[in-house]
Structure 1
C-alpha cells in the first residue's frame, strides 16, 4: 500500500481540525433581512464586503475587520434615481439620507459632457452621471457656443437670456439641426448615458428636429429621456411616435404629471406599445405637486391651457404664497423656482401601483433650503406611505422599482450599471439599510430638506456615507457612471 504524501497528510489534518482560515472581510453587515429584487432573495443573511464590492452573502456568520449588526433591518441595493437635477454635493447629501446611492440627471442632461464629468470627479458622495442635454445643446447652437452645462442645476446660467431666449423658442433651420445633431453625437461619444429632452422647455423645437435628435441616440445605441412637449395624452403620443420612427428606446419623465388627468389612458397606451415590442419605460414621484423655474418657456403665453392650470395653482417657495396675475408677472421677471400644485392623489397612486413603473424623484436643487420635498423624501415616502401604510405595493416590488429596474434601463449602453441595483457577489457595494417599521419621509413644502427617518446606514462603493442616521463627514466615495468613450 502506497504511503500518503506529507502534503496529503497536512491537508487531511487541516480539514479534520477545521484550521483552514476563514476569510476576513473589510466590513460585515450581520444578520439583516437581505432583499434583492434581481434574484428574489428575501432572507436573513450576512453580507461581506471587500473594498468596493460585495464579496459574500452567507447564511452563516462572517468574520470582518468591522462588523455592523443590522438585525431587524432590511439590507437592500442602493436606490438609483434616474431623475436627479440636484447634482451639487449638498443636494446629494440630502438624497443620501433618503437612501439614494446613484443620482443621475437623465432628463435635463448636461453639455459639454466631458467637462461636466471632469468637474465632478472626486467631489461626490453619490455615484453620478448624466445624459447629453438637448436643451443645453440648443443654447450652445443658438447663442454662439454658450455652455450652460447642467440646465436647472445651474439656474443662473441662462438668466441673462431672459424668459424668451432663442435657444428655447426659435425653430431651427436645417443647418442648425445639423449642428444640434453633431453636438448631441459628441456628447454621446464623450460618455453621456443617453440623450435628455425637455421638450416643454424648448417649444421652438419642431417635430422634425425632435425625431432627428432621437435618431442620433438610436444610431449610437442610446435611449432618449423625455419631458413631453405638454401635459396630457397627446404629448405622450407624440413622444412615443417620434421614438418609434427614430428607432430609439424611450423613457418618459414623471408620468403622473405628464399625463395629468389622462393617467388611465396613458398607462393603457404604455402597456399596449410595450406589448407591441416598443422599448418604452417611465417613472413617477409620490407627490401631487411639481416644480420648475418660473422664467422657463413652460410659462410662455398660453401656459394655462397647455398645463390646464391657473395662477392660484402656483406657489412661491420663498414666501409660501399662491400666485396672482400680478405676482406671476413680477416673479417671472425676477426668476426662480415655483411649486406647481397640479395632480390628484388618486392619479399619483394609480401610477405608483401600475406594474413596471420606476420611482424617480425629479428632485431639483435646493437654494437656501427652499424647494420641493421630493429631493429629500421620495424613496422613504414610497416605503412608508405606499408600502407600509397604504399597501399599494409589496416591499419587494417597491425595491425593484428603485433598484434593478433603473439599472436594467441603462446597463446595455452602460455596462457599469450591471453591477448596480442588485445584491450579489461581485456587485458594487452600494447598499441601503432601513427599518421597514419606521422608514418615512419628513420633508415638507415648508421644510423641504428634512431628512427621512428610518434609514440608519447607506454605503456607496463600500464606504458609509450615512452611518447611524448621520452623514459621514467628508465621505465622497461617489464615482462617475458613464458610457464607454468613443476614441
Structure 2
C-alpha cells in the first residue's frame, strides 16, 4: 500500500510538471517553410533545449523567450555546401556566414581538406563555434602528403597509402572526398587514381564533390569525367560551384545540365551546388599552365627564355579564352599581401599604375610577376548571367557560397562571403522571380541535408535540431558588392543554432552554440 501511495504522488508530480512546463523559445505566428519545398503553413514552433518539440498552435503556452514572427518566414537554417573554413580558428563565430542565416557549413572543398583529419576536428571541438561545421577529406591534401607536388602516377604503395588516408578520414567523420582537379597537385592525377580513392569514400557512405578538371573550354569533358567517377566508384557526385567559364563557353550550361539529366536517368546520383554570382574566385595561378607550376620550379622556369615564352603563351590563351574573359578589366584582385593597394583593383588598373600599355601581353607579364611575389586572390568576371540562372533553376542544384570566412577590413573578398543566401532570396526569388520561395529554401536546406546524410537537420520537424533562420521575404537582400564587399545582409533578424539564439535583431548575441558534426558518428538522441 505504501508503494501505491508513492506511485500516486509520482503521477501527481508528473502532472503538475506537465502543466507548469514552459518552452525555452516559442516562435509565434510565422510562415513556416519546413524545407521540403512544400507551401508554407502558419503556426508556432516550440523549442526545448536543442530540439524542436512542437509545431502547431502554441498560443496558450509559455516560454522563456517568445519571438513574434508575424509577417516573417521561418525556415530551417541554411546549409552551405561549399565553404572555405580555413580561418575558422581565428574567426570561430563565423559571423560572415551566421548573419546570412547559415547554421551549417561544409568545409574541405576543392581537394583541400585539413590534415591530419581527425586531430584537426578534435581541436575544433575546443572552440566556441558560431555555426555547425562538417568536413570533406581532400584529395589534393592527401596526394601532397604522400607524393608532394610531383607530376607522376602513384606507385602501388603510394596509392595504397592514399587509400588508407581516405579510409581513416571517413572513419574520423568526413562527409566524403573532395577533389580539385584544376589545382596542384590534383591536376596531375589520372582518372584511375581518383576512382580508386573515391571507391573508399563511397563504401563509407560518403559523397564525391569535385572542382572539375576544367570549367572553360574543357567543361564538357570534365563533366563526363565526373559522371564516369560516379559510375565506376559507385558514389554520389556533386559538381561543385557548377559554372561555364569564358566567353566561348557562355550558354554551355544547357549541355552540362542535359548530361546530368541523362546520367540520372541511367541511375547515377549526380547533383550540383552553385553560388549566385557571375564571377568566380581563386588564385592568380589558375591562369598559368599547370606544368609550369610543378614542384618548386616556377621561378627557375621563367628564367629560361624559351620556357618563359611558352608559359606566357599559356597565360595569354587563358586570359583570352578562359577565366580572363578576354578582358583585363574582368580580372580583379581580392587579396594581395605584397601590394595591398592592388586589392579591389583590376589587372588593367595595375598595368596603368605601372605606366604600361594595357595589352594582353603585358597583362601576362604581370601575372608572372604576381606569382613570383607569392600570388594573389583573384576575382574573375567571366561567367554569363544566363548560365547562372539556368543552373540555379535545375531541381538538383543546391547552394554553396564558395566563400572564405571573412571579417571587416580583411582584404577585398568576393561578395559571396557575405551575401550568398540573402542574394538568392532577395534578388533571384523576390526581384527576378527565378523560382518560388519554398523551392529556394528547399535548395538551401532539405535538399542539402539529404545529400549529406545529416541526421535530424535541414527540416523543421518535431524532434529535429532547432537550427532555424527567420527572415523577412519582403526585405531580405545582400548588401556586399564587388567594389564594397564587407557588408552584412539585411532582412534576417533571427538565427537559432542548436536551440540558442545566435542572431537577434540582426546582430550577434555572443552565444556560440555550434558543433563539429562527424558524418559516421552522428547520433539520434
The bucket for the TM-score relative to the shorter chain is: 0.7 to 0.9
- For the pair 1:328 / 2:370, whether they are aligned, the reply is no
Partner of 2:500: 463
CA contact (8 A) 1:80 1:100 kept: yes
- For the pair 1:210 / 2:212, whether they are aligned, the reply is no
CA contact (8 A) 1:27 1:66 kept: yes
CA contact (8 A) 1:106 1:193 kept: no
- For the pair 1:396 / 2:438, whether they are aligned, the reply is yes
Q: Distance in 1 between matches of 2:62 and 2:93?
A: 35
- For the pair 1:219 / 2:242, whether they are aligned, the reply is no
SS at match of 1:225: strand
SS at match of 1:256: coil
Q: How far is the alpha carbon of 1:177 from its aligned partner? A: 1.8
CA contact (8 A) 1:387 1:394 kept: yes
CA contact (8 A) 1:106 1:225 kept: no
Q: How far is the alpha carbon of 1:43 from its aligned partner? A: 1.7
Q: How far is the alpha carbon of 1:90 from its aligned partner? A: 5.8
Q: Distance in 2 between matches of 1:59 and 1:260?
A: 50
- Of 412, 431, 434, the residue aligned with 2:471 is 434
Deviates more, 1:253-262 or 1:316-325: 253-262
- Of 241, 245, 253, the residue aligned with 2:232 is 245
Q: How far is the alpha carbon of 1:203 from its aligned partner? A: 1.3
Partner of 2:403: 363
Evaluate the alpha carbon distance shift between residue 379 and residue 298 of structure 1 in structure 2; reply closer, same or farther with a 3 A threshold. Answer: farther
Q: Distance in 1 between matches of 2:39 and 2:461?
A: 10
SS at match of 1:200: coil
Q: Distance in 2 between matches of 1:477 and 1:131?
A: 22
Q: How far is the alpha carbon of 1:86 from its aligned partner? A: 2.9
Deviates more, 1:437-446 or 1:334-343: 334-343
Partner of 2:135: 130
Q: Distance in 1 between matches of 2:456 and 2:18?
A: 30
SS at match of 1:450: coil
Q: Distance in 2 between matches of 1:426 and 1:366?
A: 33
Deviates more, 1:267-276 or 1:307-316: 307-316
Q: How far is the alpha carbon of 1:386 from its aligned partner? A: 0.8
Q: Distance in 1 between matches of 2:317 and 2:54?
A: 56
CA contact (8 A) 1:257 1:290 kept: no
The superposition leaves residues 128-166 of structure 1 with CA deviations (integer Å, 9 ceiling, x where unpaired) of: 0101111111111124xxxxxxxxxxxxxxxxxxxxx43
SS at match of 1:328: helix
Q: How far is the alpha carbon of 1:71 from its aligned partner? A: 1.1
The aligned length equals 447
Partner of 1:46: 44
Could you list the runs of 5+ residues in structure 2 that have no partner in the other structure?
1-6, 291-310, 335-342, 349-362
CA contact (8 A) 1:135 1:198 kept: yes
Partner of 1:117: 121
Partner of 1:156: none
Partner of 2:3: none
Partner of 1:272: 262
Q: Distance in 2 between matches of 1:247 and 1:350?
A: 28
- Of 443, 450, 469, the residue aligned with 1:408 is 450
Partner of 1:314: 331
The superposition leaves residues 403-448 of structure 1 with CA deviations (integer Å, 9 ceiling, x where unpaired) of: 000000011xxxxx12111001111000000000000000112222
C-alpha RMSD of matched pairs (Å): 2.7
Evaluate the alpha carbon distance shift between residue 359 and residue 304 of structure 1 in structure 2; reply closer, same or farther with a 3 A threshold. Answer: farther
Which runs of structure 2 are paired with 1:91-240 in the superposition (5 Å)? 92-105=94-107, 107-108=109-110, 109-121=113-125, 122-143=127-148, 165-166=149-150, 169-201=151-183, 202-231=186-215, 232-240=219-227
The superposition leaves residues 357-378 of structure 1 with CA deviations (integer Å, 9 ceiling, x where unpaired) of: 1111111243714211111101
Could you list the runs of 5+ residues in structure 1 that have no partner in the other structure?
1-6, 144-164, 412-416
The superposition leaves residues 199-253 of structure 1 with CA deviations (integer Å, 9 ceiling, x where unpaired) of: 1112111112111112121222221111111111111101111221121111110
Q: How far is the alpha carbon of 1:322 from its aligned partner? A: 2.5
Deviates more, 1:232-241 or 1:34-43: 34-43
How high is the TM-score relative to the length of structure 2? 0.80
Evaluate the alpha carbon distance shift between residue 60 and residue 386 of structure 1 in structure 2; reply closer, same or farther with a 3 A threshold. Answer: same
- For the pair 1:381 / 2:379, whether they are aligned, the reply is no
The superposition leaves residues 3-50 of structure 1 with CA deviations (integer Å, 9 ceiling, x where unpaired) of: xxxx99xx9xxx9xx997263101111111111132836122111110
Q: Distance in 1 between matches of 2:501 and 2:31?
A: 19
Q: Distance in 2 between matches of 1:297 and 1:199?
A: 15
Q: Distance in 1 between matches of 2:382 and 2:104?
A: 28
Evaluate the alpha carbon distance shift between residue 280 and residue 305 of structure 1 in structure 2; reply closer, same or farther with a 3 A threshold. Answer: farther
Q: Distance in 2 between matches of 1:135 and 1:297?
A: 19
SS at match of 1:480: coil
Deviates more, 1:264-273 or 1:364-373: 364-373
Evaluate the alpha carbon distance shift between residue 213 and residue 297 of structure 1 in structure 2; reply closer, same or farther with a 3 A threshold. Answer: farther
Q: Distance in 1 between matches of 2:116 and 2:521?
A: 14
Q: Distance in 2 between matches of 1:182 and 1:19?
A: 53
Q: Distance in 2 between matches of 1:285 and 1:455?
A: 19
Q: Distance in 1 between matches of 2:85 and 2:400?
A: 13
Evaluate the alpha carbon distance shift between residue 77 and residue 447 of structure 1 in structure 2; reply closer, same or farther with a 3 A threshold. Answer: same
Q: Distance in 1 between matches of 2:93 and 2:242?
A: 23
